[in-house]
Amino acid sequence: MKKLLLATTMLVAATMASHAQDNVVKIGVLNDQSTSFSALGGTEVVRAAELAVKDFGGSVLGNPIEILSADHQNKPDVGLALARQWLERDGVDAIADVANSAVSLGVNTLIGDQKKVGLFVSPLTDRPTEADCNGHIVAWAYDAYSTVGTTVQALLAEGGKSFYILSPDYEAGKVQESWVETAVNNAGGEIKGKVRAPLGTTDFSSYLLQAQASGAQAIVMNLNGPELVNAMKQAQEFGIIAAGQSIAVTFLHQSDARAIGVEALKGVRASTPWFWKKDATSEEFGRRMMEITGNAPGWIAAGTYSAVTAYLKAVEKAGTDESTAVLKAMREIELDDFFVSNGTLYPNGRLAHDMYLLEVNGPDDVKEKDDFFKLAATVPADKAFRPYSDSACKL
């Protein structure tokens, strides 16, 4: 009788393990939906995650899939509190997007402690896959190495030798500044100066005048969102480009180009993990999102759709939503969709894939709404990202 009871207990346990542990798979989208970063992703990212669930069929392993969302308002303490509630009380299995590197650092530690899954798309900092790695974070879209290096190399190839760096004064800005400096120095260029502007800055006059006075051939702006919009408009007012200095941005979002306008950005180059006219399947996704939100999506929304879909495929393959099994399955499934080309998921959680150098269309080249970019170059995955052998995180 004891043997029969033990066998029955083991069978029940095995049956339970083959499904979601609480009969539902919950994914929380945590990002900024009301302040500086909201235009870059915000609710658009939530809609993309919902679309991914719909396209997957709405359930996995016979259990419903639920998307939660919350606004961390760009405040690390708020973001950490929301993530803690989700993981400890609400039964969330994975947290996606996590815009703002400062927010992501605390959430990274919490996810590691709770043994859940992080599908990080927005954060630029590489600490969750390097110095602070815990094996539970997947960094899906980009990092400083892949974005900054691509942009700087393009400027060097065009004859630029001296640079001035304008960055935001928070974690991601410091990372970008460091990578620009490293890339320029490694190529034999010169840094004429650098400055950091506080998050939320609206008047960049003093910073731009410093950059102009430095005599640098190129000004590299590590800004995004409203800060980039304001800085670019003021750069045009000061006639910086007309006076002979070139301006580059380390990366440029769809919403940035929409807000600034191609007249001010014509010819500016930037690197990106994806854009909606990259190929036919990307354009199909872009037009579906346009029907939902009214605008062509940016790469954060596309990357979140891709990451959520891959996560659900991994849950299906693993037969459970237990994080260790799911992460193992994510490294075994084929990673190739409209967002990911030549994808390889490293053991430290970094996803390497092709990156793209874009050039902003001139006004005459814009054929339809949100047609802002054209492809200048494709950087293969093995060139765009550092090899895993160089990683400080060995898992």
The tens digit of pLDDT for each residue in 149-171 reads 777 877 787 788 999 999 999 88
- Confidence band for 147, pLDDT divided at 50, 70 and 90: confident
Does residue 5 carry a pLDDT above 50?
Answer: no
Does residue 104 carry a pLDDT above 60?
Answer: yes
DSSP string covering 157-194, please?
HTT--EEEEEEESSHHHHHHHHHHHHHHHHTT-EEEEE
Does residue 387 carry a pLDDT above 80?
Answer: yes
Query: What pLDDT shows up at residue 4?
Result: 34
Does residue 348 carry a pLDDT above 60?
Answer: yes
pTM (two decimals)? 0.86
Q: Whole-angstrom Cα distance, residue 187 to residue 96?
A: 36
On the question of a common fold for 2-142+279-354 and 145-273+355-384, the answer reads yes
Does residue 12 carry a pLDDT above 60?
Answer: no
Locate 178 and state its tokens: 């460091």
Pick 26 or 378 by higher pLDDT.
Answer: 26
Candidates 352, 309, 300; CA nearest to 52 is: 309
Q: Whole-angstrom Cα distance, residue 300 to residue 78?
A: 21
How far CA 195 is from CA of 101, 161, 206, 229, in Å, comes to 19, 19, 10, 18
Does residue 394 carry a pLDDT above 90?
Answer: no
Q: Whole-angstrom Cα distance, residue 205 to residue 195?
A: 12
Does residue 69 carry a pLDDT above 70?
Answer: yes
Asked if 306 and 335 touch (Cβ cutoff 8 Å), the reply is no
- As a whole number, mean pLDDT of residues 170-177 equals 86
- As a whole number, mean pLDDT of residues 14-33 equals 77
Mean pLDDT rounded to a whole number for the chain: 91
The tens digit of pLDDT for each residue in 246-275 reads 898 887 899 989 988 998 888 788 999 999
Q: How many residues does the chain have?
A: 395
Spell out the domain ranges in the chain: 2-142+279-354, 145-273+355-384
Structural class in CATH, domain 2-142+279-354: alpha beta
Q: Whole-angstrom Cα distance, residue 297 to residue 158?
A: 30
Query: What pLDDT shows up at residue 17?
Result: 43
Pick 95 or 226 by higher pLDDT.
Answer: 95
Q: Where is average pLDDT lowest: 111-125, 169-183, 305-319?
A: 169-183
Does residue 299 carry a pLDDT above 50?
Answer: yes
Locate 39 and state its tokens: 């235009």
Query: What pLDDT shows up at residue 8?
Result: 32
- Confidence band for 19, pLDDT divided at 50, 70 and 90: low
Superfamily of domain 145-273+355-384: Response regulator (3.40.50.2300)
Does residue 219 carry a pLDDT above 60?
Answer: yes
Query: What pLDDT shows up at residue 99?
Result: 93
Does residue 312 carry a pLDDT above 70?
Answer: yes
Pick 39 or 66 by higher pLDDT.
Answer: 66
Does residue 78 carry a pLDDT above 90?
Answer: yes
- As a whole number, mean pLDDT of residues 307-333 equals 98
Q: Whole-angstrom Cα distance, residue 293 to residue 297?
A: 8
Q: Whole-angstrom Cα distance, residue 393 to residue 390?
A: 9
Locate 136 and state its tokens: 């539970």
| Range from 34-48, 80-94, 139-153 that averages highest in pLDDT | 80-94
At a CB cut-off of 8 Å and minimum separation 6, what does 4 contact?
none
Does residue 6 carry a pLDDT above 50?
Answer: no
- As a whole number, mean pLDDT of residues 214-222 equals 94
